[in-house]
Amino acid sequence: MEDLKGRNGIVCAGSTGIGKGIISVLAKYGANITTFSRKKEKIDNLKAEILEKTGTEINAITADLSRKDDLIRVIDSAHDKYGKIDFLVMNYGDPRVDPFMELTNSDWDYNIEMLLKSTIRMSEMCAEDMIKSRYGRIVYVTSMTTKNPLQNFAISNSLRSAVVALGKTLSIELGKYNITVNSISQGYFYTQRLQNIIEKNANSSGKTVAEVEKDLKSEIPLGRFGMPEEIGNLVTFLCSGLASYISGTNIQIDGGAVKSI
């Protein structure tokens, strides 16, 4: 994966959790990264931590994934800093987890902008550079809910599945330009998002946090939660020359949690 050195990429929503894990691995291999978050403090902390850990200085700005004008600003910042975009990693914020009948129109409107429309906008803008270069990598970070829909995850179940379908379509249309498009369906990874879900499940079920965590781990053949850097390893591989003939696929990374073929 040494061919990533000097390649220019965008990782969306990168300040914490999965996004941070992805950036830490890409930066280790010398990729030039532009990322963003809504909160300046988080983005500043990320920039300092990545520099300390890897020696790579990333381009980190404040922007909102759900706002079209902010995404245009992200693209402009990447162009100003690095000239062109070689790869795009679509990572996302956290959609609401609640029963379908409790979701509001505002919940759906916001998450359609944040999950689906952001993917359309960023893919279109980044693909323009990739088509000119006759080279590109696009990776969508989705969820195991695309393979195994979960109760109370109506937003994630539906919109992330749409993202996977879009990736398959783009892999067909953009392949002639030497652009690969793939998605990954992650399982249970040790992040604040997972901790929040565990606590919510504990409160609603009357179980302790430890009991809910044990129950979740019992569903995973490897018997543990994943770490964000493990997703970073997969994304980095898909962005590298080692994955030059992998396109149009959705890869599970879940410790074996999804049992269907």
Fold of the domain built from segment(s) 2-189+227-253: Rossmann fold (3.40.50)
Question: What are the residue ranges spanned by the domains of the chain?
Answer: 2-189+227-253, 190-225
The string of pLDDT tens digits covering residues 79-90 is 999 999 999 999
Reported as a single tens digit per residue, the pLDDT across 8-53 is: 999 999 999 999 999 999 999 999 999 999 999 999 999 999 999 9
Residue 199 CA to residue 167 CA, distance in Å, equals 33
Task: Tell me the pairing of strands 179-186 and 59-62.
Answer: unpaired
Q: What is the mean pLDDT of residues 178-184?
A: 98
Q: Does 261 score more than 80 pLDDT?
A: no
Of 235, 229, 193, 237, give the one whose Cα is nearest residue 54. Answer: 229
Average of per-residue pLDDT values in the chain? 95
Instruction: Tell me how crowded residue 41 is: count the other CB atoms within 10 A of its CB.
Output: 10
Instruction: Find the Cα–Cα–Cα–Cα dihedral 75, 29, 144, 146, rounded to 10°.
Output: 40
Instruction: Report the greatest alpha carbon distance in the chain.
Output: 56
Confidence category of residue 197, pLDDT binned at 50, 70, 90? confident
pTM above threshold 0.75: yes
Question: In this model, does residue 212 exceed pLDDT 80?
Answer: yes
Please say if the pLDDT value at position 234 is more than 90.
yes
